[in-house]
Structure 1
Amino acid sequence: MSHPEITITVADKIPLDRLRAHARRRGLGIAKARGRTRVNNRGGLQVYDATKNTVIAGVDYDLTIDQAAYFVEKAMRERAM
């Protein structure tokens, strides 16, 4: 089963930078895939907890910007509980 490649373009730079800043203020990080795409690198984003050094979502770098934003908000809501 082949998974489609996620593409983060130059036009996505400003929204991605804003999302990264938003996440960083809350102890989270957003990593962009590097190198060529393969089974465990789909070319997208990954959300991680910077304080615990654990991946929250996008283990295979398979998130779009909108999906990453969802998981950042979800992690913040869970921390508030």
Structure 2
Amino acid sequence: MVPEVNIILELETGWSPVLLGRLEAGETDLSFMMGDIDPARFDSIMLRRYGLALIVHREHVWADSPYILPEAMMR
């Protein structure tokens, strides 16, 4: 016998402090977040780490560069 499961899924996007406030107030059960989460206030599971990408037009001077030094961005 399969147990009855009652799931209601609602998608809300917003800034982390707002979503964390909803968790603390019991207005939502879970949230997908980016950034640091206070382990004293919340339990969290790391789903995946991701990198930050710098995207340029294919004709940009940096387009074929394997890496870009921070100093190059300051020019």
With the shorter chain as reference, the TM-score category is under 0.3
Structure whose residues are more often strand by fraction: 1
TM (norm. structure 1) is: 0.20
Which entry has the higher C-alpha Rg, 1 or 2? Answer: 2
TM (norm. structure 2) is: 0.21
Higher relative contact order (CA 8 A, sep 6+): 1
